[in-house]
Structure 1
Amino acid sequence: MGSKSVVDLMEASSGAHFSGFHMDTLKQRIKEIDTSTTSATENMHKQPFVIGVAGGAASGKTTVCDMIIQQLHDQRVVLVNQDSFYHDLTEEELTQVYDYNFDHPDAFDTKQLLRIMEKLKHGQAVDIPNYDFKSYKNNVFPARRVNPSDVILLEGILIFHDPRVRELMNMKIFVDTDADVRLARRIRRDTVEKGRDIGAVLDQYSKFVKAAFDDFILPTKKYADIIIPRGGDNHVAIDLIVQHIRTKLGQHDLCKIYPNLYVIQSTFQIRGMHTLIRDSQTTKHDFVFYSDRLIRLVVEHGLGHLPFTEKQVITPTGSVYTGVDFCKRLCGVSIIRSGESMENALRACCKGIKIGKILIHREGDNGQQVCASLFLLLSVQVFRFLGANLFSVSFSGQLIYEKLPMDISERHVLLLDPILGTGNSAVQAISLLLKKGVPESNIIFLNLISAPQGVHMVCKCFPRIKIVTSEIEMGLNKDFRVIPGMGEFGDRYFGTDDDDPQVAAAAPSQQFHQG
């Protein structure tokens, strides 16, 4: 993507291509976006969904967490235990360890817990202490390395006690289990797993555990969003919780800001395909194969946002089936050249669909774009000499080529470009469609990946179009390249070499006769 502001890019082309379109208004809106979204996108990252799971000792908190993790198998989930943040006992406390109250809020290093949770929420890997319950120290075993995740399960008896910890949570669950059941589980766990004497277990329970539950744990039940009776035995409650979590995870932070942005539901298959096409070592054949699969999913999702009409048909059994009829007035428009990779998927889904083309020179790109422009200029002269005026070209601005259906203003348009980066090219392409008479609400912009900066740009300039993508990226680097990204999509898809600009220039030209 180019390093110039979209305002600079469009000022050069407005006279030649956008007469009749309210460019002054658009440029003013873009200037506002340039200033208002820069700082926002720099600080923006996908926040994890934090779930607090509290309850008395041996209430089944860990079982509930394990069941949630198991059902969220296609998401990155990490479990953080409050037990990892016990204070080290002093020499004096060690001599009277059986009189130490491990169920009191002061037994935990809440400040360290807050520091680690803040880092995880901001996408940083952390080292979580591995507390040793024999030496009562947290430096005996190596710390556990935890990477940023989609879901953080924070489990502990007193995680609702401190308001600072509660504020970190998106969902608060209290596991409510009968006291007798909790006591029976605690006796079995401490005698079998920890080798303690049953008398000592009962003495500690009556002296500390029961009193701490009544004084500190039970009062925090009022903060819970969800109360699960019977803990892990309550499968219905856990299923509902997992369903709610999936709904929340499917809503990227940007989707909450822009209701016209749609990110397709992530699955193991989709993440696996993204892993392959993002791998720099993936062969061209595999890159094309898995890109085509992902593109097909995006196209199918995009088609689902088109208007439908009710239709009744007679089935072979003579019965009446009430269904829907597809939108008939439809066309695709690809932004050359990467957008052309999405045309086959669109044709496979929409039989006989018309496809138009738009070529926009991106300032700041490498020499391939320049060579492509020169090749196009030569082609224009040849076609004009032959009397075939197929091109609309102006090198005073950024729009180089456009060929659109004559009746495009009467159609719904699927705009195709696999990468939404800065949004500069998208704004120019959409502006051209509007100039051709296409209603803004009739445009659906289909991408494989989208940078937040580009989403801000397009959605704020054109709030009535729809954007459908398969993943939202981290952002743009200093060279305005999408990160983590997948490289130059057109080069990888069409097999053109970065070191051979003539081959790169020829790739899109081979398809100019189509559509």
Structure 2
Amino acid sequence: MEDTQQRLGSGMYSVAGGTASGKTTVCNLINTQLRDHRVVLITQDSFYCSLSDQTKQKLNEYNFDHPDAFDMKLLLSTMEKLKCGLPVAIPNYDFSNHKRIEPAHQVHSADIIILEGILVLHDPGVRNLLNMKIFVDEDSDVRLSRRMQRLAIERGRNVENVLDQIKGMHTLIRDVKATKHDFAFYSDRLIRLVVEHGLGHLPFSEKQVITPTGSVYSGVVFCSRLCGVSVIRSGESMENALRACCKGIKIGKILIHGHGTKGRQLIYEKLPKDIASRHVLFLDPVLATDDVTRNSAVKAISLLLNKGVPESNIIFLNLVAAPQGINAVCERFPLLKLVTSEIDASLNENSRVIPGLGEFADRYFATDD
């Protein structure tokens, strides 16, 4: 950003990107570097359409990220006037009531005009006015967590509205008609959220570091060593999310299989030799039965304890669980921590989670019929 002032001349610029990608932060950084220019920032959010009372009653079904949610004609005419050096009236939009409130605020044209928003590049008329187009790219899971916080705190949406977004992703992956790509994509997003929440249960200590500006930053650092352990095959679907959050983390494997009178049996295990001295993030996306002889998670956790891992050092990361499965695990291992994204209603006569996801591994790895 140091040479922004030299590279940007007078004109109209856009900063686009996905929701909660950091567009406003980029705009503020640019603005601080342009001390010798008159700069005006216009946000596309000011041009949301007011919602009718009927639409507000079905607010959870309304798509605020669709072009039709914005008054694109007003946005275009406003930007055209600014381009010509004319003053404009920018609407004041109330996010808690989802409508414009009077009066609009007056804005005068400037040397540099910056337009930011998720869909500022959608309209060809707006695009033709721009001298430069900037797109801010950010990881989708980071954007999701930022958006949840924004909706809950900054824009007056209640917790139920925020959780509906999680429910929306569950709806997509539970649909029997979901494509293999969509199932894996939205499962990955939910798994990433579970992993990040699970990491929040790890012990940490305070630590101070020196920033590039020479300042002192007081932060935290994990004060214990970690490893992951996945139950083959479905648990392997969670490994990429764990690696994305914990670079270079060791991940062990456990294979448990079999039916009949002997129940589930340990077939294969490969674990870090020093696993007893580590905190273990145990990965298994579906937790079902209350029958401990048929519960793979109970069998695998028992193996970890036999290897010397303290029960309190195990964090079970799970995507969907039945109440019976949770009871079986938590009654057997009361010091273990369990993190899941949704608790389903029950089990059917075949000990399958209802409404469930089907055979998770087959759907995720595209090996189902």
TM range (shorter): 0.5 to 0.7
Q: Which amino acid aligns with 1:360?
A: I
Can you give the 5+ residue segments of structure 2 that lack an aligned partner in the other structure? 1-52, 62-151
Per-residue deviation, 1:72: 11
Which of the numbers 150, 162, 169 marks the counterpart of 1:273? 169
Per-residue deviation, 1:327: 4.2
Q: Find the counterpart in structure 1 of residue 232 from structure 2.
A: 336
The answer as to 2:357 corresponding to 1:486 is: yes
1:328 to 1:361, Cα distance in 2 relative to 1, 3 A: same
Per-residue deviation, 1:328: 4.5
Aligned length: 221
More strand by share: 2
Which of the numbers 173, 188, 209 marks the counterpart of 1:313? 209
Q: How does 1:23-62 map to 2 (within 5 A)?
A: none
Which of the numbers 202, 213, 220 marks the counterpart of 1:324? 220
Q: How does 1:110-121 map to 2 (within 5 A)?
A: none
Distance 1:71 1:467 in 2: 36
The answer as to 2:283 corresponding to 1:412 is: no
Q: Find the counterpart in structure 1 of residue 327 from structure 2.
A: 456
1:483 to 1:323, Cα distance in 2 relative to 1, 3 A: same
Distance 1:282 1:326 in 2: 38
Q: Find the counterpart in structure 2 of residue 345 from structure 1.
A: 241
Q: Find the counterpart in structure 2 of residue 295 from structure 1.
A: 191
Q: Deviations over 1:475-514 (max 9, x none)?
A: 101111101001000000111135xxxxxxxxxxxxxxxx
Per-residue deviation, 1:319: 1.6
The answer as to 2:347 corresponding to 1:495 is: no
Q: Is the 8 A contact 1:292 1:342 kept in 2?
A: yes
More helix by share: 1
Give 1 or 2 for the bigger CA radius of gyration: 1
Distance 2:58 2:272 in 1: 46
Distance 1:442 1:399 in 2: 22
Distance 1:457 1:266 in 2: 30
Q: Deviations over 1:118-138 (max 9, x none)?
A: xxxxxxxxxxxxxxxxxxxxx
Q: Find the counterpart in structure 2 of residue 468 from structure 1.
A: 339
Per-residue deviation, 1:435: 0.4
1:300 to 1:396, Cα distance in 2 relative to 1, 3 A: closer
| Secondary structure in 2 matching 1:478 | coil
Distance 1:74 1:311 in 2: 42
Q: Deviations over 1:437-488 (max 9, x none)?
A: 0000000001111100001111111111000000010010111110100100
Higher relative contact order (CA 8 A, sep 6+): 1
Per-residue deviation, 1:426: 1.1
Q: Which amino acid aligns with 1:303?
A: L
Q: Is the 8 A contact 1:342 1:416 kept in 2?
A: yes
Per-residue deviation, 1:318: 1.7
Q: Is the 8 A contact 2:203 2:224 kept in 1?
A: no
The answer as to 2:359 corresponding to 1:359 is: no
Q: Deviations over 1:410-436 (max 9, x none)?
A: 000000011011151111111100000
Q: Find the counterpart in structure 1 of residue 23 from structure 2.
A: none
Distance 1:445 1:363 in 2: 24
Distance 1:481 1:471 in 2: 15
| Secondary structure in 2 matching 1:444 | strand
Q: Deviations over 1:207-248 (max 9, x none)?
A: xxxxxxxxxxxxxxxxxxxxxxxxxxxxxxxx99xx9x84xx
1:266 to 1:412, Cα distance in 2 relative to 1, 3 A: farther
1:437 to 1:266, Cα distance in 2 relative to 1, 3 A: farther
Distance 2:284 2:362 in 1: 14
Distance 2:311 2:320 in 1: 22
Q: Which amino acid aligns with 2:354?
A: I
Q: How does 1:51-450 map to 2 (within 5 A)?
A: 246=159, 267-363=163-259, 398-422=265-289, 424-450=295-321
Distance 2:271 2:283 in 1: 13
Q: Deviations over 1:317-337 (max 9, x none)?
A: 222111101244000000010
Per-residue deviation, 1:267: 2.5
Per-residue deviation, 1:70: 6.4
Q: Which amino acid aligns with 1:345?
A: A
| Secondary structure in 2 matching 1:282 | coil
Distance 2:253 2:233 in 1: 9
Q: Is the 8 A contact 1:362 1:425 kept in 2?
A: no
Per-residue deviation, 1:363: 2.2
1:74 to 1:314, Cα distance in 2 relative to 1, 3 A: farther
Structure 1 stretches of 4+ with a deviation exceeding 3 A read: 69-75
- Sequence identity of aligned pairs in percent? 72
The two structures have a TM-score, normalised by structure 2, of 0.55
Q: Deviations over 1:370-421 (max 9, x none)?
A: xxxxxxxxxxxxxxxxxxxxxxxxx996111111000000000000011011
Can you give the 5+ residue segments of structure 1 that lack an aligned partner in the other structure? 1-66, 76-238, 250-264, 365-394, 499-515
C-alpha root-mean-square deviation of aligned residues, in Å? 3.0
Distance 2:187 2:258 in 1: 23
